[in-house]
């Protein structure tokens, strides 16, 4: 069975799916990612699906599960690079992938993650009187 | 009653012998039906060519328009129906151009009146009828091709995606939105989002005359698809009348931002990005 590689770049885990997603591959990816988030302590996950021609309902649901699992582990997930044809097909099927954050490309995805981390720390600043307690990322 | 090869050659001789008289009579009767919308020189050239083609076909032993010997005749008929269709003549006016040959021929045959001639004439008439039907078929085909071309041009013309700002594209929708057009708009917008990497799209419906549930459905689908790809859509240009229709029909736009004008939508998007619109201070005098 083929496996999807998970790359660590700074505070982000990058997953670029270059093969046809079969159900087993998707489940394996879900397990691998959860493990890597815990091991690396990353706070962001980017899943690039720009090479995928087909996203079926199972893969769609797995992506949603991955997003939920990462959120529990304090990592934000962004799905990037969905093709227009894939988006149209998903809409026609009535699958709007609730709970998944999306961006047009990897660059915008990284920006989005950086912004949401900033917001989080800004909130912390307001909550806590002592700014020295804020750890640098 | 089909034409026999024998009769065909007799008519070919007739066409040749009375060429001048036939041409004049034929051109006259076509001219009256077209009521001067085609110059007489042009008309004379056309009937002349057609007459020659008829004569050649009959001399070659053609007993039907589909025969090999009538290839030249078919080409002439096709040319006439092409030019008539493109110049906007109606079906009758096109058919008359061929049928008029029967009147002209009858006039020439009128000098002799026996049963054999009558039989010949009926057979010849059938031949001309077939030719006219061929012309008419061709006329319809040309007209349909014209309509298809125009529909395609309309589709091409009416769906531009324009860049409004760094990272902001807009689609000004003009005209009624049917399924085919909605599909084109959706595909083009999504492709532009990918190509330009714009996270914001404004769909302006100022030019859409009416919004019914179907049109709303198309717009909603586009917005959801854009969201799946990671771009946000704003709907602008909702006229008061349309706003009332939307509410009356119970269409829910949910959490999709709707703005009254394109300017409002752009200001809203700029506010969400790092830009801020402020009036420049005037230099004091």
Write the pLDDT tens digit of every residue in A71-81.
999 999 999 99
Q: Is residue A1 part of a domain?
A: no
How many domains, chain A? 1
Q: Residues of chain B whose pLDDT is less than 50?
A: none
Query: Minimal Cα distance from B230: which residue of A?
Result: A103
The residues in A 96-125 lying below 8 A from B, measured between CB atoms, are 96-97, 101-105, 107-109
Residue B61: partners with Cβ closer than 8 Å, 6 or more residues away = B5, B8, B9, B67, B69
In which band, very low, low, confident or very high, does the pLDDT at A124 lie, cut at 50, 70 and 90? low
Residue A68 placed within a domain: yes
CATH of B5-153, one of 3.20.20.70, 2.40.50.140, 1.10.490.130, 1.10.3720.10: 1.10.490.130
Asked if residue A132 has pLDDT above 60, the reply is no
Q: Which CATH code, of 3.40.50.2000, 3.30.750.24, 1.10.510.10, 3.30.2320.80, is assigned to B162-272?
A: 3.30.750.24
Nearest CA in chain B to A97: B228
- Neighbour-count burial for B163-176, b at 16+ CB within 10 Å, e otherwise: ebeebbbbbbbbee
Q: How confident is the model over A95-103, as a mean pLDDT?
A: 86
Q: Which domain holds residue A57?
A: 6-133
Please report the pLDDT score of residue A70 as a whole number. Answer: 92
Residue A129's pLDDT band (cuts 50, 70, 90): very low
Can you give the pLDDT at residue A130? 47
Show me where the domains of chain B are located.
Answer: 5-153, 162-272
Q: Which residues of B touch A96 (CB under 8 A)?
A: 224, 227-228
Q: Which residues pair with A47 in a beta bridge?
A: A15, A79
Phi, psi of B245 (to 5 degrees): -60, -45
For residue B110 the two structure tokens come to: 């009128």
pLDDT digits (tens, 9 = 90+) for A24-58: 999 999 999 999 999 999 999 999 999 999 888 88
Q: Is A59 on the interface with B (CB under 8 A)?
A: no
CA B15, CA B144: separation in Å to the nearest integer?
A: 34
Task: Measure the N-to-C terminal CA separation of chain A; round to a whole number of Å.
Answer: 36
Rounded to whole angstroms, how far apart are CA atoms B99 and B131?
9
Q: What is the CATH number of the domain that holds A33?
A: 3.30.750.24
**For residue B121, how many C-alpha atoms fall within 13 Å in the half-sphere facing its CB?**
17
Q: How far is B229 from chain A (nearest CA, A)?
A: 5
Alpha helices in A1-137 (DSSP H): 23-40, 57-72, 84-93, 106-127
Q: Do A104 and B199 touch (CB under 8 A)?
A: yes
CA-based nearest distance B261→chain A, Å: 26
A26 is a domain residue: yes
Q: Do B225 and A84 touch (CB under 8 A)?
A: yes
Q: Per the confidence metrics, is the pTM higher than 0.90?
A: no
Would residue A101 count as lying in a domain?
yes
pLDDT at A133 over 50: no
The answer to the question of residue A25 being in a domain is: yes
Interface test with B, best of A83, A88, A105, A108 (most B CBs within 10 A): A88
- Report which of A47, A41, A61 is spatially closest to residue A135, judged by C-alpha positions: A41
Provide the ipTM. Answer: 0.76
Q: Which of B197, B230, B232 has the most A C-beta neighbours within 10 Å, making it the best mutation to test the interface with A?
A: B230
């Amino acid at each position: 069975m083929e496996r999807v590689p998970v790359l660590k770049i700074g505070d982000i885990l990058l997953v670029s799916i270059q093969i046809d997603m079969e159900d087993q591959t998707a489940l394996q990816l879900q397990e691998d990612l959860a493990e890597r988030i815990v091991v690396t302590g990353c706070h962001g996950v980017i899943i690039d699906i720009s090479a995928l021609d087909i996203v079926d309902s199972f893969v769609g649901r797995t992506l949603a599960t991955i997003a939920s699992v990462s959120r529990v582990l304090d990592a934000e997930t962004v799905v990037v690079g969905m093709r227009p044809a894939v988006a149209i097909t998903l809409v026609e099927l009535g699958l709007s992938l609730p709970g998944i954050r999306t961006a047009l490309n990897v660059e915008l995805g990284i920006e989005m993650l950086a912004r949401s981390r900033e917001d989080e720390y800004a909130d912390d600043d307001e909550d806590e009187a002592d700014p020295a307690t804020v750890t640098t990322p | 009653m089909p034409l026999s090869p024998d009769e065909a050659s007799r008519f070919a001789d007739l066409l040749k012998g009375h060429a001048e008289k036939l041409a004049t009579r034929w051109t006259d009767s076509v001219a009256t039906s077209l009521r001067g919308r085609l110059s007489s020189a042009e008309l004379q050239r056309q009937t002349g060519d057609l007459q020659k083609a008829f004569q050649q076909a009959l001399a070659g032993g053609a007993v039907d328009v589909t025969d090999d010997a009538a290839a030249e005749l078919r080409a002439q008929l096709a040319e006439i129906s092409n030019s008539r269709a493109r110049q906007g003549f109606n079906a009758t006016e096109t058919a008359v151009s061929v049928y008029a040959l029967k009147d002209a021929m009858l006039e020439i045959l009128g000098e002799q009146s026996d049963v054999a001639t009558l039989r010949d004439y009926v057979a010849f008439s059938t031949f001309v009828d077939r030719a006219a039907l061929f012309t008419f078929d061709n006329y319809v085909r040309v007209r349909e091709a014209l309509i298809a071309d125009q529909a395609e041009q309309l589709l091409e013309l009416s769906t531009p995606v324009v860049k409004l700002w760094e990272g902001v594209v807009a689609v000004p929708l003009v005209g009624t939105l049917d399924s085919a057009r909605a599909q084109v708009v959706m595909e083009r917008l999504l492709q532009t989002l990918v190509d330009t990497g714009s996270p914001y799209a404004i769909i302006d419906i100022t030019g859409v005359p009416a919004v019914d549930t179907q049109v709303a459905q198309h717009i909603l689908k586009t917005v959801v698809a854009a969201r799946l790809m990671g771009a946000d859509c704003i709907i602008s240009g909702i006229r008061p009348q349309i706003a009332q229709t939307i509410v009356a029909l119970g269409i829910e736009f949910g959490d999709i931002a709707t703005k009254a004008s394109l300017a409002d939508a752009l200001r809203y998007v700029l506010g969400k990005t790092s830009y801020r619109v402020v009036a420049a201070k005037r230099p004091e005098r």
